[in-house]
A = this chain, B = another copy of it.
Amino acid sequence: MKHLNLLVGGPTSQWPDQLTAGKVSGDWIGVDRGTLRLLNLGIKPLVAIGDFDSLSADELKRVKSAVSDIRQAIPEKDETDTQLAVTVALHEYQYDRLDIYGATGGRLDHFLANFWMVLEPRYRQYAPKIRFIDKQNTITFFAPGAYEITKEPDKKYLAFVTLEKVDNLTLPDEKYNLKNENVTRPISYASNEFVGDKGHFSFDSGMVAVIQSKD
């Protein structure tokens, strides 16, 4: 499975330990200050995206000398740098999975823009490839269907998050169950748990995010 990672400029305090240790495998795209942080981890990104206006002159020089492909989003297009990075990742490179780090714990307008990106027509088909990963959470996205998911060993909690109207949401074998629930608005069914290592769920319309998390 070909695997691409994005590092966005959110606080490093939210990084999972594996990233802090520089041990996340795969290719990288850097967004804003994330690019500099990748260089500090000894990782040279394929592409750097951002206006880098929060970097000092020396930091910017370092980014420019290390990365040949540097691009910038256009704010008027209501496109964030992270969205541009996802577009580049999905359209110019062929990856089966896209993991986004550094997108949490900072500006909430950015987090929500990125979280809801999967609802845009141009990204919707790619949603199942996208994950958000931080110190306490892994977010994955699902189109209508029936699924089996596997518990992450270090996570205790399991949440089913309806991003929009969702029909017939069924959670048959988790700690708290639902049967053919028609959900008419965004709800985070939080603090559920796996019973054992596997869980199943299904739904007929809309988009569902699954969040595995720990305290």
A→B interface (CB under 8 Å): 11, 13-14, 54, 75-76, 78, 80, 104-110, 112-113, 116, 119, 134, 136-137, 139, 157, 159, 161, 163-164, 176, 185-191, 211, 213-215
Contacts and interface: CB of A to CB of B under 8 A. Distances in A.
Contact of A190 (B11, B14, B110, B211): B110
A115 B81 CA distance: 24
A185 B119 contact: yes
Given A54-B215, A191-B75, A215-B54, A186 B109 contact: no
Given A106-B136, A108-B137, A186 B54 contact: no
9 contacts: A14-B105, A78-B176, A104-B105, A106-B215, A107-B211, A107-B213, A108-B139, A108-B211, A109-B190
A174 to B, nearest CB: 12
B157 A109 contact: yes
Given A14-B105, A108-B104, A188 B157 contact: no
A188 B113 contact: yes
A186 B157 contact: no
B176 A75 contact: yes
A188 B215 CA distance: 27
Contacts of A137: 107-109
Nearest to A73: B191
A101 to B, nearest CB: 14
A54 B113 CA distance: 32
B190 A112 contact: yes
A186 to B, nearest CB: 5
B109 A161 contact: yes
Pick the 3 closest A-B CB pairs, nearest first. Answer: A109-B159, A112-B188, A109-B190
Most chain-B Cβ atoms within 10 A of its Cβ — which of A78, A112, A116? A112
Contact of A119 (B11, B104, B112, B186): B186
Nearest to A161: B112
Given A78-B189, A116-B185, A176-B76, A109 B211 contact: yes
